[in-house]
Amino acid sequence: MGYRGKVVEQARARLLRAEGWTLRDIATELGVSRSSVSVWVRDLPVPPRSRRPYHGPRKPHPAHIRKLEELERCRQDAEAEFASITHRELLVFGLALYLGEGFKTEGRGLGLANTSTDVLRFFVGWLRTCFDIDESRLRVRIYLHDDLDIEAATVHWSQALAIPTDQFTAPYRAAQRGAYRRSKHVFGCPSVRYADNLLHRRVMAMIEAITSRPPLPG
């Protein structure tokens, strides 16, 4: 019967379009395809600002609901897959992270900069778990815009990484450019460094030993 048979829906779609509703919102409201709505209202003038009037909280789109459900399934699958991690798996994952994010320059020790608390917490935990390190040789330097609170940022990273504030070096305060600062990193971008050139060479050698081999067949 097609869209021609949906007389009630067609009439309702034309009324909503005249009120300024978007094609997408009309389709969602009526439970029909957007292409059908487009055909039904194609002879009507496009509203200058096609916006659905506020009628309370908008009902989530079915596609959005399916996306959220899929994300949750993926999260649960991942939690089950990595419910336990071996020491070797932890070591190798840390090496992969360091290959992508770590400091490579010889003579600077091990180091990594990132705005993610989880990434930096993992990096420091990786050092503590996989290597015999001297905690006093850990250093943190925060890169932070000069209009943000350096004390709050220092406390945040000190607690997150379990590194005393007296092991934080002088921060880099970046001057704000323009009228607005778009960055949302209120605690800045810290770099965590461990001053040990021998350990740096060991880590880089392990990375090379892995990356220089062809992937296993099959």
Task: Give the pLDDT score at 148.
Answer: 86
Annotate 106-133 with b (16+ C-beta within 10 A) or e (fewer).
eeebbbbbbeeeeebebbbebbeebeeb
Q: Of the candidates 106, 111, 104, which has an alpha carbon nearest to the alpha carbon of residue 191?
A: 111
Burial class of 191 by CB neighbour count within 10 A (0 to 12, 13 to 18, 19+): middle
| Residue 218 located in a structural domain | no
Q: Is residue 114 part of a domain?
A: yes
Question: Measured between alpha carbons, how far is 123 from 85 in angstroms, rounded to an integer?
Answer: 16
The pLDDT, as a whole number, for residue 214 is 81
Q: Report if residue 56 sits inside a domain.
A: yes
Q: Give the side-chain half-sphere CA count within 13 A for 69.
A: 7
Q: What CATH number does residue 54 fall under?
A: 1.10.10
pLDDT of residue 85: 92
Whether residue 101 sits in one domain with residue 54: no
Residue 168, domain CATH:
3.10.28
Residues 205 and 118 in one domain: yes
> Do 42 and 106 reside in the same domain of the chain?
no
- Indicate whether 16 belongs to any domain: yes
What local confidence, expressed as pLDDT, does residue 48 receive?
65
Q: Count of alpha carbons within 13 Å of 141, Cβ hemisphere only? A: 13
In this structure, the answer to whether residues 93 and 171 fall within a common structural domain is yes
Do 24 and 105 fall into the same domain? no
The parent domain of residue 94 ranges over 87-175+183-211
- 131 with 190, same domain? yes
Tally of domains within the chain: 2
Looking at residue 20, its pLDDT comes to 83
Are 58 and 110 in the same domain? no
Whether the predicted model's global pTM rises above the 0.75 cut: no
Which domain-ending residue is among 48, 63, 78?
Answer: 63
Q: What is the pLDDT of residue 2?
A: 43
- In the chain (218 residues long), the average pLDDT of successive 10-residue segments reads 64 86 87 88 74 62 87 94 94 96 92 95 97 96 90 95 96 72 76 96 96 78
User: What is the distance between the terminal CA atoms of the chain, rounded to a whole angstrom?
Assistant: 51
| 6 touches 36 (CB < 8 A) | yes
> Token digits for 80?
């089950």
